[in-house]
A = this chain, B = another copy of it.
Amino acid sequence: MTSTRLATPSARNARYDIDGLMAAIEGIPLVTDPVAVRRRSRDFFWYSPVLNEQLSGKSADLLVVPRDEADVIRVAAACTRRRIPITVRAGGTGNYGQAVPLEGGVLLDVTGLSAVEWHRPGIVRAQAGAKMHDIDAMTRPAGWELRMHPSTKRTATIGGFVAGGSGGIGSVTYGGLREPGNILAARIVTAEEEPRVIELRGDAAQKVNRAYGTTGIITALEMPLAPAWRWIALIITFDDFFEAMRFGYEAALADGVVKKLLTPMIWPVPSNFPALRPYIPDGKSILIAMIAQPSLETFKAILGTRGTITYEEPDDESPNVVPLYEYTWNHTTLHWLKQDRTITYLQCLFPHERVIDSVREMWALFPDEVLPHTEFIRFGGRVTCSALPIVRYRSAERLNEIIALHERHGVLIANPHVFTLEDGSRHKRADADQAGYKAEVDPFGLLNPGKMRSYVPQRA
């Protein structure tokens, strides 16, 4: 774990010309109340006991809420001229402190940039602060929806999802955000004294993927859309977790079955889902799935008698309904944390050529300490699974030992217990050249400083 020495709040206030900034951006909504600013300076980093200790005291000096891109440009210019850091936040649903201002300064809340600019068959263009749930609601009547979304879709924004990276519900078909074509374009504002607005298209758009807002302030994104199927959400119970794994793997490999989610998890993980307990008898491992209605018959044929379908309902995206996918990906962890704060989690990527054996190997190493919760995905064109296992937390040292043992056995870990890009994001595309690009768009190193720790500002 990296330990970084950070400025204390009092030092920050002395350091930045906040009054001058406020005068320069007059007319743009802002919040100065320290309690409110501090509350908005947090995300779900408390999932990690390590991060919780490191980040819990951090806060911005000022919350600024731009109404449009013109406001963003004014704030970027005013901050850059005064060398005040800018940390962008939106829904605040991340888990790695991506939106936590390590060095104070301005917290830029972009949730006001929420318009869907346009959509046509297969493509949507939305402002960074548009909620993913709202984007889907707008495109679904035309038969389209986002290819993938995190389990926090109801509150997460498209900008935050892209800046945080990874994938989610839908990645079993389309892979993660890193796959070519899963981000079509990004529009960013630079942190320069005369900010530029840059359109990054295609591979260049990967420069903002999982960069935590360090490589430009994202104002709009062009994202690919998928056909909006009538999704059926299912819970299937199994006597044996590895039976759920084998079935999930077969279903993931079945290219004739249209699917959005295949999530096996071992008992007792589902014991922490009170609302679902009518569908999950004691002791059963489960698989949660989302399957296109016309593929349901085939999906059940593949299942055969190996498991029991205890829940089968059309996915309901109505405002007051909790969708089944809110029990998968990192929501799985959240449900356990609601009952018991002694656990935490990891993020694993298993080798595609021996995925089930590899999961079994890891489980055998830590049978009661690391409880498998896997997510089938495509990665680089291959079916494999990632995992967000529940870890019974003992100490930071033991956590690092567990990570090292996974890596020694060929399991990649995207460490969710660090707040810098470099330490955490080993799933990331290597060729995006984010550090080099950062020099162009953030010469003073003001964008979310501390998150890209290898970056040395060109001009101090």
Contact = CB atoms under 8 A, between A and B. Distances in A.
Contacts of A301: 180, 202-203
A227 interface: yes
A392 interface: no
Q: State the main secondary structure of chain A at its contact with B.
A: mixed
A218 interface: no
B381 A294 contact: no
A172 to B, nearest CB: 10
Interface size, A (range) = 35 or more
Interface string A141-183: 0010001000000000000000000000000011100011110
Contact of A181 (B174, B230, B295): B295
Q: Which of A122, A181, A227, A292 has the most CB of B within 10 A?
A: A181
A122 B229 contact: yes
A181 B122 contact: no
Contacts of A340: none
A292 B230 contact: no
Contacts of A143: 143
A119 to B, nearest CB: 11
Contacts of A432: none
A439 interface: no
B255 A381 contact: yes
A180 B294 contact: no
A182 B353 contact: no
A294 B122 contact: yes
A253 B181 contact: no
Contacts of A186: none
A255 B224 contact: no
A378 interface: yes
B381 A184 contact: no
Nearest to A179: B256
Interface string A301-320: 11000000000000000000
Contact of A381 (B123, B230, B253): B253
Nearest to A297: B202
A404 interface: no
A362 to B, nearest CB: 23
Nearest to A224: B294
25 contacts: A122-B229, A122-B258, A122-B293, A122-B294, A122-B295, A143-B143, A147-B256, A174-B255, A174-B256, A179-B254, A179-B256, A180-B298, A180-B302, A182-B256, A184-B298, A202-B297, A202-B298, A203-B301, A224-B256, A224-B295, A225-B294, A227-B227, A252-B381, A253-B380, A382-B382
